[in-house]
Amino acid sequence: MSIVKRLFSAYLNTGTNKSNTPAVRQQIQVTNLFGLIGYLITLVLGVSALVRSAGLKNDDFYLGVTLLVASALFFTSRLILKFFQSKNGYKVSANLVTGALMLLMLYLIVTGGVKNTGPLWIYIVPPVVLFFGGLKRGLLQLGCFAFVAIVILEYPNNLFLMAEYSDEFSSRLIYSFITVSLLFVFYEYSRQRSFKTLQELSREFEKQARLDPLSGLQNRRGMLEKLEYEHQRTLRHHKNLTLMMCDIDHFKRVNDKFGHDVGDDVITQVGQLFDRALRKQDTVARWGGEEFLFLLPETTQEQAFTLAEKLRAQVSKQQYQADSNSFTVTVSLGIYQMHPQDSLDHAISRADTNLYRAKSNGRNCSIKSD
């Protein structure tokens, strides 16, 4: 049983790869599943029709040949996914599946299938076409299919029909197919709207998970991701990368004297001042408490030191309010330029060590590595 399960899973995942999003992976799996079902059903029905024809070129013979051709097309869709593992490969495979299905359904309308029951299969067209083609392309394909079906059924003197249908049957088949199609179109529209809303909410949650709610800056998690990305990019392109660790001096005194609400306001305003002063490619994060970490791509230690002194001066000049009292704060900064052999943990530790040196040196200053 486990072997069958593994084989079936391997079949469904044909054409998938690690870069596929969950939605794309699901579409490919459904394409494989539908191709397998279509292949088996048309193969069995095609062989049965040929057996019934007893070697004579009658209606069963032509029906059997058509079903076997459709079966071959369904199987080909799987081969395309297997050997062309790309977005275009999936599109070609999906178009082949829907095209084979619609041509088979039109053939069943023309010939009537077995005892004129063939047209009853056309109701599987709307969900399949809309799933593989999406709303816009699926609606266009459905419209083309419905138009051709109406022409075949309603053309004067049944010119395109090999089977005989009553006028009532033809009209009810058309009206019911259009009704079912509209219901599936509405369902697909609602599904896409819901999916889009869920995606937007997911992106917003992901964004919020990387932001510090107090300062609005990146939090530790968001900064670690950016650090890893910039570190790898720096190694690939042999660029400079400098880190700065910053701490608000005597911040505990601010909380003790003016209260935590005022302390939170100081953190917010200092963070906003830092964010406004940076370039687009730079990042500042609230690393924890009253500490901030700066990520400065393509920046030397000397350039970072100049920036640190500029920020330090701006912070010391800014006035903060606590009821009727105004006060100022200062910051200390530690700077470290990464080397190719440095790990991120080592670089952060060195920047933190330089920050500690700045605090030991009387605070309100910037210290870089020797």
Q: Are residues 61 and 195 in the same domain?
A: yes
Question: Which residues have CB under 8 Å from 97's CB, separation 6+?
Answer: 31, 34, 35, 38, 73, 74, 77, 128, 132
Residue 79: Cβ-neighbour burial (10 angstroms; 0-12, 13-18, 19+): middle
Question: CA 357 to CA 13: how far, in whole Å?
Answer: 57
Q: Are residues 55 and 192 in the same domain?
A: yes
Which has the higher per-residue pLDDT, 16 or 295? 295
Six-digit token pair at 80? 């395309």
Q: Are residues 257 and 236 in the same domain?
A: yes
Enclosing domain of residue 198: 2-207
Instruction: Give this prediction's pTM.
Output: 0.60
The reply to whether 311 falls in a domain is: yes
Point out the domain boundary residue: 184, 207, 230.
207
Q: Are residues 183 and 239 in the same domain?
A: no
Buried b (16+ CB within 10 A) or exposed e, 42-69: bbebbeebbeebeeeeebbbebbebbbb
pLDDT of amino acid 336: 97
Token pair 């005989």: residue: 164
Question: CA 107 to CA 51: how far, in whole Å?
Answer: 20
Q: Are 103 and 94 in contact (CB under 8 A)?
A: no
pLDDT at residue 108 tops 90: no
Q: Are residues 150 and 196 in the same domain?
A: yes
The reply to whether 52 falls in a domain is: yes
Question: CA 125 to CA 180: how far, in whole Å?
Answer: 10
Q: Are residues 129 and 249 in the same domain?
A: no
Residue 205: Cβ-neighbour burial (10 angstroms; 0-12, 13-18, 19+): exposed
* Secondary structure element (H or E) that encloses residue 284, with its range: strand 283-288
Six-digit token pair at 276? 């406004």
| 6 SS3 class | helix
| Per-residue pLDDT tens digits for 305-344 | 999 999 999 999 999 988 888 999 999 999 999 998 999 9
Count of domains in the chain? 2
pLDDT at residue 123 tops 90: yes
Q: Based on the residue annotation, tell me whether 154 is a catalytic residue of this protein.
A: no
The reply to whether 215 falls in a domain is: no
Question: CA 92 to CA 99: how far, in whole Å?
Answer: 10
pLDDT at residue 87 tops 70: no
pLDDT of amino acid 86: 60
The predicted model gives 107-133 an average pLDDT of 88
Point out the domain boundary residue: 207, 233, 259.
207
| 337 SS3 class | strand
> 9 pLDDT band (50/70/90 cuts)?
confident
> 1 pLDDT band (50/70/90 cuts)?
low
Reported residue count of the chain is: 370
The reply to whether 363 falls in a domain is: yes
Domain containing residue 358: CATH number:
3.30.70.270
Q: Are residues 202 and 226 in the same domain?
A: no
Q: Are residues 30 and 96 in the same domain?
A: yes
> 111 pLDDT band (50/70/90 cuts)?
confident
> 11 pLDDT band (50/70/90 cuts)?
confident
Q: What share of the chain has pLDDT > 90, as a percent?
A: 54
Q: Are residues 251 and 186 in the same domain?
A: no
pLDDT of amino acid 48: 86
pLDDT at residue 358 tops 90: yes
The reply to whether 214 falls in a domain is: no
Strand (E) positions, 120-189?
none
Question: CA 109 to CA 103: how far, in whole Å?
Answer: 10
The reply to whether 99 falls in a domain is: yes
User: What pairing do the DSSP bridges indicate for beta strands 283-288 and 320-322?
Assistant: unpaired
> 349 pLDDT band (50/70/90 cuts)?
very high
The catalytic position among 164, 228, 230, 290 is 290
The reply to whether 212 falls in a domain is: no
Q: What share of the chain has pLDDT > 70, as a percent?
A: 98
Question: CA 262 to CA 250: how far, in whole Å?
Answer: 14
The predicted model gives 146-155 an average pLDDT of 92
Helices (H) and strands (E) counted in the chain, each on its own, are 11, 7
Query: What are the angstrom distances between the C-alpha of 307 and each of 233, 348, 354?
Result: 22, 18, 16
Six-digit token pair at 287? 């690393």
The predicted model gives 159-187 an average pLDDT of 91
Q: Are 89 and 81 in contact (CB under 8 A)?
A: yes
* Secondary structure element (H or E) that encloses residue 368, with its range: strand 366-368
pLDDT of amino acid 8: 78
pLDDT of amino acid 29: 80
| Per-residue pLDDT tens digits for 230-283 | 999 999 999 999 999 999 999 999 999 999 999 999 999 999 999 999 999 999
Q: Are residues 151 and 274 in the same domain?
A: no
Point out the domain boundary residue: 179, 207, 235.
207
Q: Are residues 156 and 289 in the same domain?
A: no
Among 11-15, 80-84, 177-181, the range of highest mean pLDDT: 177-181
The reply to whether 123 falls in a domain is: yes
Q: Are residues 143 and 51 in the same domain?
A: yes
User: What pairing do the DSSP bridges indicate for beta strands 366-368 and 331-337?
Assistant: parallel
pLDDT at residue 81 tops 80: no
Tell me the average pLDDT of the chain: 89
Range in 112-116, 181-185, 308-312, 344-348 with the lowest mean pLDDT: 112-116
